[in-house]
Structure 1
Amino acid sequence: MDGEKHKEFDRSYFDAAELDTRRKGKRDDEQSAKKEVGLKPVPYFRLFRFLTPKDKVWLAIAVISALIASACFPLLNILFGEMAELMVNAKRVNIDCANNASTISPNTPSPAIDSEKLLERMAEFSIYTAIVGVIELITGYLFISIFSRLAEIQMFRLRKEYLRALLRQNIGWYDTVQDRNFVAKISENVTKVQEAIADKAAMCMFYCLSTLIFLVSALWYGWLLTLVILSTSPVIAISTVIVTSLQSKLTAQEQKAYSKAGMVAQEALSNIKTVMAFSGQQKERDRYEAGLVFALRAGRMRGIVSAFGNGFLWFLNYASYSLVFWYGTKLIFDGRREACTKTPEYDTAAFMVVFFNVLTGSYHFGNALSYLEVFSVGRGAAASIFNVLDRNPEIDSYADAGISPSKRPKGKIVFNNVRFSYPSRKDVKVLRGINLELLPGTTVALVGSSGCGKSTCLQLLQRFYDPDEGSIFVDDLNIKDLKLNWYRDQLGVVSQEPVLFNTTIAENVRLPQKYDTMVGERGAQLSGGQKQRIAIARALIRNPSILLLDEATSALDTQSEAVVQEALDRASEGRTTLIVAHRLSTVRNADVIVSIHNGQVTEVGSHSSLMANKGLYYQLITSQMSGETPDDTTNNYTKSSEKRMSLEPSEDQEFPESMAQPPAEEDLEEHLAKRTSFFSLLRLSSKEWHWMAIGLVFSILQGGMLPLYAYFYGEFMGVLSINDAEEAQREANVYATYFLGIGIYAGVTIGIGLSCFSIAGEALTNRLRKLSFGTMLIQDLSWYDNPRNNVGGLCTRLSGDAASVQGATGTRLGMVSQAFTTIAISAGLALYGLPKLGAVAIAFVPFILIAGFYNGKMLENQQIEEKFATESASSYAFQAVSSIRTVASLGKEEAFVEMYSQALLQPHKKAVAYSHLLGFVYGFSQALLYFAYATVFYYGAYLISEEDAEYTNVFIVGEALIWSMLMVGQTLAFAPNYNKAKVAGGRILNLLDTKPVIQSTPGTGLHTRNSEGSVIFDKVEFSYPERKATKVLKGLTLGIEPNTHVGICGPSGSGKSTCIQLMLRYYDTTSGNVIFDHRDIKTLNLDAFRSQVAIVSQEPALFDRSLADNIAYGDNTRNVTIDEIMDAARAANIHSFITSLPSGYLTRVGDMGAQLSGGQKQRVAIARALVRKPKLLLLDEATSALDAEKAR
């Protein structure tokens, strides 16, 4: 009765929360992503936290250089104002001040300026302008190159320190932290921080300083006119604050959502075998896409806010120009009337200086504002990184505090009233007052049922956690008082699920061809037994004082177990050894055996004394001795008929030379070949063509804004030579109206154009992430065996490449379209107004383009190499973080940090060297503007003097030139983004074009119905794709009848697990066939076939979801009911444990099931397999982590 009540409680509890979540997964994921925006963005100047004193000196030089460079443009405007005054006066008539009256004689040329004098003065101004250009070249080179160099150096340090900080955190933090998308943060978020402090920061500072100098000089030359122009400044300031605030908020929301999606991708790719076996690809895609939905919304809204905010600011700028032409004209002519009695306050030169300084200052201010989004994104991206950097863990492996005894420990261990609960489940008591003493040099075995707390004792002894109460002593010293690194160096650990790293066997043992064989990610190229033997060797090579063996021989066959056990017995001599084992035959010779039940010690003694007591140990022994019957959990799938099949080891178990090292050079060459054309990038955006088309139209229209300004400005200059003040004012009012119209035109075109491109860009990023992840999930296992396709690299690609493609297709495409339109119209305007002068002006543009093209080619190769290195480095980071317990146990945190930094070192050095080229190209392109100005206005003066050219056309050509040059510079500024987009686009296209060898599409193959479950191996030969020279199966012939229980046995590494992988069709045979229900499995639909098969692996992979979700994962074709889930849990003997937890079936199991013991994980995996109701049940050491009672 009580059981029924409990069952009903479980059902209602689950139905109300978990089952509803599964059915409405997308909506729930969106809400959880929206629930918490995340950490507050860090203060901007904290992004420079890794500067050394020497770096600060260089930074000071860069700031001074930027200050000097920022003064060059205002100085150019002053020179330009003087030149304009000369040209206007060259055409103006003389003012007659006779009889104290201000009258104008219309036909008398001004005697102040003649042709010769005009050319002479213009030559002086041209020389001054060229000198200013040289200064701009030098200072521009300095501040851009120094900022870029310092940013690269800082990001190298930040990546290294972030990984170090991650590996420094205590295990309890990993158990409780929600956002574990660490690898993506190292690549994606650090790049965003770099953008916020590199050349973009330098340009923003340059624009801000120049804006200030523009403003000061404008006030100096004409404070009243300047204040009139700046009357719109309060509105600009308020709107800027609002836009920046919204950008920061939306960026934080977007980052939160992307991080959530990244966690799903990382988990799925890490457990790809489980995903394949249970046909969970669609479920993982749905979960990933649900995480992207809110990111798409936040990204689109951020883009729209930025676009219309930018457009509104441009409208305000042109509105202020309208005021200038209206009020400035009045001041100039008032000054001319007063010229007979006093020096006029405003003349053409003063007006031009004020106008151009405010105009260019506004433009620079607008450019500075355009970088605010980059800074907002960088500050938001830095928040989660700096949060980890600034966290001081309770258990710190890098701490210098603590005792480091000079003598080797004797190995006395004492548990004194130890009580403990895991941080993620504080309400579940695991240890309830453990008291235990281990004398030096003794071998002590901990035995008990699965989940009783045996492995927890070992984790506390390694100081992964600290006890809630009580203490642990080693040689009478509390382990909390010992220096953690020193202490862990005294321990040798072999865990129940050994983790090997994707490096050589020698490195895994040494963490120091045959031994240089690559073992694959998490040891994927080796069998379970082979991995465990290497892990044992790794522990013994440390020559530890204390040896901890947690099911050290669970994955070995009987023969290998005997050999290894004998080696372990010898290794235990002279050192304290603590053993956790379910195979009680391996602990009979232990000096002391400790029985643990429900977190408490129940009995202590030798094998013989405990057998005589007939307590818990006696029950476990007798249960195991009688455990020859088939596994209860498989009774529904077996008959009395049983078979045993023995596999002989391969004659040559050596590893091939070809498997020794990954082909790094060839990989890099392949990466260098992955470029794509601009049109291929556009094809990626084909589904967003309508948004792109609208955006392109408005960007082209926007490109006409600046030429319109240049034309009307040049025509307005003619107004200043009109002698009649009233007529001049009327004309000025007309042009003021034109400028107000241009402001409205600019606001609309910029807002709509950039919004459309932003919407298209975010949609493209979202879609490419979906397509890339979906393509990864459908690949066969041989694709994942390729070292290039390690999980860390794939996560880096997934998060970075899709976003990088926007560098050529998002808002940047709009800006480039605008730039080219501006250049084309400006060039046409210049050639139409004054062909000779226009041709001279246009001649300067190719020099900038050539410099930019060379810069782009250099940058492209550098970025490809950097991307390749980042992927390789991400592999180290992923391995270290995902296997943090093993890394911490070995005390090899710093070794992984060093491997990571070494992988990044060469591209880092090249990027530092490239910063000089970046600085030179910038300085050169800026200096060309000054040289062009000097040339154009000197030649324009010549044409005015010698060919009677209209000076208004000179101004039109000059303004067209300056804006063309600025647009070219703006286009070149996006060259890094464009080249990143080409590299990323090429890699995405390469991925999307990758067709799996084993197809799993719905329309392919036969669908099996009413399967019997028979299996035949017909002369099967097989070699793993990455080890083709090593044959694992050599002509295997085996028949398995329906409803029979067949055991495949043999030495470790003989091919037993390979048979299971072939039966799941993870791989296809090299020759021969695997036949299911009289059909070659190659002819069957893959998902339909796998739906008939279930597997329980030797090292079961669980997802960081609830226990119910993990069990229900056994059948992803439907919604599994809670009754089915609980029935499967009962059959797997895990139901009573689950119901004892406060959250029951809603309890999350942690990353890779870290919150459960090995036995508990295996029982959940068994329940997951039973939910599937398979015709073919595959058990690969399915009970290796269970005690005898649970195994039965």
Structure 2
Amino acid sequence: MRKALSNYPSRPRQHTVTTGFPEHRGWNKTGTLDQHRLRKIQEDPHQIAVLAKFNNTFFSYHEIYWTKEDHLGAYYDAGGWDRGRHSLVGDERFRGPHRTIAWWSVLMHYIFLDDPWTEFVTGEPKYANLASLTYDHATGMNLAKLVDRPHKRALIHNRCTAKDVGEVLSEVKGHVELRNVSFRFPSRPDKPVLQNLSLSCPAGQQTAIVGLSGSGKSTVAGLATLFYDATEGTVMLDGHDVKDLNVRALRSHISLVRQEPCLLDRSIFENIALGLINSPVHTHLQPILTDHGEKAQEVMSLVEGAAKLADANGFIEKLQEGYGTLVGSSGNLISGGQKQRISLARALVKDPRILILNEATASLDSATEMRIQKALETMAVGRTVITIAHRLSTIKNSDNIIVMRQGKLVEQGPHTELMVANGAYAELVRLQNLNVESTQEEKSTRSVSPINQITEKVETCLSVADGIRDQDETADTSATQDSKSEEIGGVVDTQRSFSSTASSLGSMFRPYAFVLVLAVTGAVVIGGTYCASAVIFGNVVGKLSGCEEPQNIRDAGELYGLMFFVLAIIEFFANLVSWSLFGWMAENVIYKVRVLSLRSILEQDLQWHESNDRNPLLLLSLITKDSNALAGLTGSVVCTILSILINLFAAIIMSHIIAWRIAIVCLAVVPLLLAAGWMRVTSLAQFEERHLEAFARAWANVRLAIGYGLSNFLYGLAYWWGAKNIIAGYYTQTQFFIVLLALLVSSQLWGQMFALAPDVSRAFHANRRLLNLLDLGSTKKLSAPIQTLPSKFSQSTSDVEYTATTREKVDDTRNGISVSLKHVHFAYPARPDTRVLHGLDLTVKPGQFAALVGPSGAGKSTIISLIERLYSPESGTIHVDGRDVAYSDISFRDSIAYAKLEEACQLANIHDVIVQLPDGYDTHCGPNGDRLSGGQKQRLAIARALIRKPKLLLLDESTSALDAESERLLQDGLEKASKNMTVIAIAHRLYTIRKADVIFLIEHGRCVEQGTHAQLIERSETYRVDALNQTVDG
């Protein structure tokens, strides 16, 4: 407590009351302000706890209230107000100047401390700290509520101290064992995931875990890495309960590669090198990860070695910036297969004792997967490898294969033994095996090349595929690399003239003209009340004369006190009306801006989204942060600025009417104050974007120095000139104080406007960005006219979302639509010299099930993107249903005929899983679907697509996370659904597309072969080798 209080910024000089008369006994009883403040803190134990946690932040928050309260109490007490009216009227010590000084102190501090836009008496802007510190306070209270629960506190304590407690094993062999483990997710305590499961993964061996989606395979990996704690049973590592081990030390020996790899928005080198952090083998390299040094070359060699093991070195070296290439937010600038290989390299660079691969090769073609498997088998000697896979060809060489179903172990053993047992595993193998020995369409007895002949040619075909893949992968990264010098679609924060910005504000407020008039009227009344208070105060001072009788002073005090009270009521209602109406208009304008901004963002093509370092967070800030900042030009800030401007002009006019000789001299200094404020606003506008924090604080200090210096100068000049005019008999004391207070309040209120400069500056920049975003319109070549900005805001309907443009719908009476690509050439704008598609010709007839296959980086996903109109081809045409997608406004989203929810889920083979959940279709999926397994998420996404009954269904590796049985059932459902639609699917697992009407083999941006599965098995050596690699031998 003492330490927390010692951090409080005590400012005795600024809190000292200088009334010019002896201390009153009431002040002596109260004591100093600092002591009074400390007593307040000590009276509230809750405040003590919070202050100790948040240190000076919480003090600064309460300074707003305490400073105002204590100063008012001090000045009222110093004046003797709380001891009765006789203190100011009958006490001989309070005659003449002392009485005036007391009243002046009370009124001035009441005016300037009670206004929420004024500054602290400590010299710090109140408004600049109020919002943020109030937020900190609220956050701290919510955090305290969350932590202040017995079980939560114990859990947080155990987890936070886990890095310092627990046994640290001197040597880890890697034997993982589960003994009678049961597990339930906290969100679903009624649904067991694992049921009395016992399994063993011996040290130095490769163990594979297979089974249906949702059988608990990934949960086993989570338990082994202590992401979860077992509900019942024990998880052992080398004979030790993992709960008794040091968590940080345990995880230093484990590397995990998940099905959905997570990459940071950094370079490829940094993403891979992150695997060295917390590696017990490479502790001597830890400083290199954050700083350069002599061992940097060793780090680079480790990164390259891991990339070679993960088969990533080839495509990385083909990139323009090599290992320095940025991967983008969540790795969205590289393909899915490349992300998985980088994630695998990050796991391998650590040289772990235990390697857990959770569908780590699901997005890879079979040739790449085969090379990675060979590399893993080489480096896995002496290490424990736990592989979770649906593609059984990747785990057939494992020492032990564990088959799970519904959280239980069904069978286990090597591949050959399980095939002989002819159980669940053998059934999964049969479901995935492809017929590569004979054609299925022709009934001739001629067979394809014998298996041994095919095997002899495997290496040759793989080397050919290598060449094709290396040439293509750098192209498929495409969108991958932003050219920072390129400005596609315009820059959001381009310059915009002041007149254009002002006219746009008029367009925003035009629909609320009547409400705006009422709000401005309230602001006028607020501005006028300051001048009215000056008139009342001048008359009060005039009555505080030593020549007046005490009774006359009391009568005048009661009269003017009543006038002050009435004026306060008027100002209260004026503030209530003005602030409420301005706030209501601000909410409506911000709502419209958000909807129109989102619509404009969605109308831009993918090239615009990938240029100029745009990312989802930046675009989201345009809708949220910039929209909120816009309130600085639309809400209560406008009310404050209007009232200040009105008060300034009213004060100038009134002062010249009452005492023009005094007003003219005082007014000569006001332009200096205005100029200082304008300079600060201009400076903030120029420097805020580049040096927001530093320049804002620096110019705030400049404004403080200028503002206080000029204010003191104005005080001295006004008193000197006013005294001369009173002595000369030109004006009375009442007139002087009316003019002085009116101009003084006006100049001080201008200081409030300067305190609002950061908010106005932010709002102005935000307004420019948002207006430029709205002006972008659609970058797609549409026939529909684009609305102008005024028309966007002047909608007659109350909901701007109601005005969304209705697009042309596709005729839903036919079974599917046709898709054709003719002589299509394409290169991503960021890499115009690297061509992805070379004169591609491809035709899909209505109602057909078409498949695209080929090595990673061949351009398959690019074809899908072009069909979806995410990009535009450089040359050639793309026709959907006979219409060029570049000039038609067909939206497949609008061609929806909604079907029953259950029907779509049954087709996607997810209905049975959903109905078994406690809440059924009302079950929450969690953020990013984290409460579902990978296969369940994929099936749910397919159901979401099928419920729309589209005429064109595009599937990009949509079954990569499904087990063989789920995939078979899904294929049956797709066959039923595809009778009325055209399906184009991309797949590396040939079993998925073996029944397709036509299969296009894409290599190096060209269609080198097409036909059915049986035809390609016979004609294409590359396709045949790919099929052979995915066949699990019995």
Superposition TM-score, scaled by structure 2 size:
0.73
Quote the residue 2:910 is aligned against. 1134
Equivalent-residue separation in structure 1 for 2:73 and 2:561 (angstroms): 25
Equivalent-residue separation in structure 2 for 1:1174 and 1:669 (angstroms): 35
Calculate the aligned-residue CA RMSD, in Å. Answer: 3.8
Q: How does 1:444-455 map to 2 (within 5 A)?
A: 444-455=207-218
Equivalent-residue separation in structure 2 for 1:864 and 1:206 (angstroms): 33
Quote the residue 1:600 is aligned against. 408
Equivalent-residue separation in structure 2 for 1:1156 and 1:487 (angstroms): 27
Quote the residue 1:225 is aligned against. 85
Equivalent-residue separation in structure 1 for 2:222 and 2:192 (angstroms): 15
| Contact 1:204/1:367 (8 A) holds in 2 | no
Q: C-alpha offsets along residues 582-619 of structure 1, whole Å, 9 cap, x if unaligned?
A: 11121111011111122111222111111122221122
Tell whether 2:752 aligns with 1:970: yes
Equivalent-residue separation in structure 1 for 2:736 and 2:609 (angstroms): 65
Quote the residue 1:91 is aligned against. none
* CA shift in 2, pair 1:729/1:1154, >3 Å: closer
Deviates more, 1:921-930 or 1:795-804: 921-930
Equivalent-residue separation in structure 2 for 1:398 and 1:801 (angstroms): 40
Equivalent-residue separation in structure 2 for 1:583 and 1:551 (angstroms): 9
Displacement of 1:853: 2.5
2:625 pairs, out of 787, 800, 812, with: 800
For 1:515, what is the secondary structure of its paired residue? helix
Tell whether 2:728 aligns with 1:943: no
Displacement of 1:495: 1.5
Equivalent-residue separation in structure 1 for 2:375 and 2:235 (angstroms): 29
Equivalent-residue separation in structure 2 for 1:999 and 1:489 (angstroms): 54
Quote the residue 2:713 is aligned against. 931
Deviates more, 1:352-361 or 1:393-402: 393-402
1:216 pairs, out of 69, 77, 81, with: 77
Quote the residue 1:474 is aligned against. 237
Tell whether 2:558 aligns with 1:776: no
Letter of the aligned partner of 2:241 in structure 1? N
Letter of the aligned partner of 2:570 in structure 1? Y
Quote the residue 2:196 is aligned against. 433
* CA shift in 2, pair 1:358/1:580, >3 Å: same
1:791 pairs, out of 608, 616, 622, with: 616
Equivalent-residue separation in structure 1 for 2:183 and 2:890 (angstroms): 46
Equivalent-residue separation in structure 1 for 2:196 and 2:553 (angstroms): 97
Quote the residue 2:771 is aligned against. 989
For 2:690, what is the secondary structure of its paired residue? helix
Tell whether 2:658 aligns with 1:840: no
Displacement of 1:671: 4.8
Letter of the aligned partner of 2:853 in structure 1? C
Quote the residue 2:848 is aligned against. 1044
Quote the residue 2:110 is aligned against. 362
Displacement of 1:703: 0.9
Quote the residue 2:383 is aligned against. 575
Quote the residue 1:856 is aligned against. 681
| Contact 1:674/1:983 (8 A) holds in 2 | no
Quote the residue 1:702 is aligned against. 526
* CA shift in 2, pair 1:654/1:1137, >3 Å: closer
1:1073 pairs, out of 871, 877, 899, with: 877
Q: C-alpha offsets along residues 111-166 of structure 1, whole Å, 9 cap, x if unaligned?
A: xxxxxxxxxxxxxxxxxxxxxxxxxxxxxxxxxxxxxxxxxxxxxxx9xx9xxxxx
Tell whether 2:353 aligns with 1:545: yes
Q: C-alpha offsets along residues 285-304 of structure 1, whole Å, 9 cap, x if unaligned?
A: xxxxxxxxxxxxxxxxxxxx
Quote the residue 1:554 is aligned against. 362
Equivalent-residue separation in structure 2 for 1:858 and 1:388 (angstroms): 43
Equivalent-residue separation in structure 1 for 2:846 and 2:494 (angstroms): 53
* CA shift in 2, pair 1:1145/1:439, >3 Å: same
1:75 pairs, out of 4, 18, 25, with: 18
* CA shift in 2, pair 1:571/1:515, >3 Å: same
| Contact 2:373/2:394 (8 A) holds in 1 | yes
Q: How does 1:92-491 map to 2 (within 5 A)?
A: 206-219=67-80, 223-225=83-85, 331=89, 344=92, 346-367=94-115, 374=131, 378-384=136-142, 396=159, 399-403=162-166, 405=168, 407-491=170-254
| Contact 2:99/2:544 (8 A) holds in 1 | no
* CA shift in 2, pair 1:76/1:551, >3 Å: same
Equivalent-residue separation in structure 2 for 1:1191 and 1:365 (angstroms): 71
| Contact 2:820/2:843 (8 A) holds in 1 | yes
Displacement of 1:354: 3.6
* CA shift in 2, pair 1:455/1:497, >3 Å: same
- Larger proportion of helix: 1
| Contact 1:691/1:759 (8 A) holds in 2 | no
Equivalent-residue separation in structure 1 for 2:552 and 2:681 (angstroms): 52
For 1:966, what is the secondary structure of its paired residue? helix
For 1:425, what is the secondary structure of its paired residue? coil
Equivalent-residue separation in structure 2 for 1:1143 and 1:547 (angstroms): 36
Quote the residue 1:754 is aligned against. 579
Letter of the aligned partner of 2:639 in structure 1? G
Tell whether 2:876 aligns with 1:1061: no
Equivalent-residue separation in structure 2 for 1:620 and 1:1017 (angstroms): 37
Letter of the aligned partner of 1:359 in structure 2? L
Equivalent-residue separation in structure 1 for 2:480 and 2:860 (angstroms): 22
Q: C-alpha offsets along residues 931-971 of structure 1, whole Å, 9 cap, x if unaligned?
A: 32222112222222345443332222222232122211222
Displacement of 1:855: 2.7
Deviates more, 1:350-359 or 1:712-721: 712-721
Equivalent-residue separation in structure 2 for 1:589 and 1:669 (angstroms): 54
Higher relative contact order (CA 8 A, sep 6+): 1
Quote the residue 1:1151 is aligned against. 927
* CA shift in 2, pair 1:1046/1:713, >3 Å: closer
Letter of the aligned partner of 2:114 in structure 1? G
Letter of the aligned partner of 2:262 in structure 1? V
Displacement of 1:1075: 1.0
Quote the residue 1:29 is aligned against. none
* CA shift in 2, pair 1:1152/1:715, >3 Å: closer
Q: How does 1:862-873 map to 2 (within 5 A)?
A: 862-865=687-690
Tell whether 2:943 aligns with 1:1164: no
Displacement of 1:411: 0.9
For 2:84, what is the secondary structure of its paired residue? helix
Tell whether 2:636 aligns with 1:811: yes
Equivalent-residue separation in structure 1 for 2:5 and 2:326 (angstroms): 43
Quote the residue 1:822 is aligned against. 647
* CA shift in 2, pair 1:670/1:499, >3 Å: same
Displacement of 1:1184: 1.6
Displacement of 1:1037: 0.7
Q: How does 1:587-736 map to 2 (within 5 A)?
A: 587-625=395-433, 649=469, 651=471, 653-654=473-474, 663=484, 671=493, 673=495, 677=501, 680-719=504-543, 735=560
Displacement of 1:716: 4.7
* CA shift in 2, pair 1:798/1:77, >3 Å: farther
Quote the residue 1:239 is aligned against. none
| Contact 2:334/2:479 (8 A) holds in 1 | no
Displacement of 1:719: 4.4
Q: C-alpha offsets along residues 6-39 of structure 1, whole Å, 9 cap, x if unaligned?
A: xxxxxxxxxxxxxxxxxxxxxxxxxxxxxxxxxx
Structure 1: runs of 5+ lacking an equivalent: 1-48, 80-157, 162-192, 228-327, 336-342, 630-645, 867-906, 1093-1114
Displacement of 1:576: 0.4
| Contact 2:474/2:857 (8 A) holds in 1 | no
Displacement of 1:445: 0.7
| Contact 1:1091/1:1174 (8 A) holds in 2 | no
Tell whether 2:783 aligns with 1:1020: no
* CA shift in 2, pair 1:389/1:999, >3 Å: farther
Letter of the aligned partner of 1:352 in structure 2? T
For 1:501, what is the secondary structure of its paired residue? coil
Q: C-alpha offsets along residues 542-578 of structure 1, whole Å, 9 cap, x if unaligned?
A: 1111111112222111221211221222232221000
| Contact 2:479/2:828 (8 A) holds in 1 | no
Quote the residue 1:24 is aligned against. none
Deviates more, 1:418-427 or 1:520-529: 520-529
1:533 pairs, out of 313, 333, 341, with: 341
Equivalent-residue separation in structure 2 for 1:565 and 1:809 (angstroms): 61
